[in-house]
A and B are shown apart, each in its own frame.
Chain A
């Protein structure tokens, strides 16, 4: 089955810097790659997703890139703000279900 690895497990940046979180997946048949943000005390919430027929997608300060050949995808956050501090999860859709990475705790310091 699908296996998703996520790095780094923690990431500390200064406000205004960029942050990059990387994930790799194992199943070349996976075709959908969402990113979720989990704030303290809340459930994960979808922030951006990408399908396998697209290489890059942007939404304001966040972007996701996908390299199907290398089987990896990344989340890029530019001009980070303290409210970006949260745990971020990548996921890949294997057969019938999403498989999640282990999460990245992002801390943005003012």
Chain B
């Protein structure tokens, strides 16, 4: 079974702090994604990566950056956390061939910025 793990289930941070959210997948997937989930807005894509050291902006990249130094790990960085970044953050991964489109999600990190 594909397993996507996220470093924290819950995080509480202060405005202005630098925040790191870590995601690891164990299926050697090429593609990794970061989404945020807000009530009434569904899942919105922040950033994605198709290969190591490669990144592409999604629909809402402002205020975020990412890092992919190893194939299995994709980090989301909030350079200076703000209250409007309070949200559920979901990481996902998918293969590049065959069932390329199927994305496997982690359990999510619920971030509260005070």
Contacts and interface: CB of A to CB of B under 8 A. Distances in A.
A32 B4 CA distance: 23
B102 A45 contact: no
Contacts of B108: 42-43
Interface of B: 4, 33, 35, 40-45, 48, 56, 58-59, 90, 92, 101-108
27 contacts: A1-B59, A32-B101, A34-B101, A36-B105, A41-B107, A43-B90, A43-B92, A43-B106, A43-B107, A43-B108, A44-B43, A45-B105, A46-B102, A46-B103, A49-B102, A89-B43, A96-B48, A96-B56, A97-B33, A98-B45, A98-B101, A100-B35, A100-B42, A100-B43, A100-B44, A102-B40, A103-B42
Interface of A: 1, 6, 9, 32, 34, 36, 41-46, 49, 89, 93, 96-103
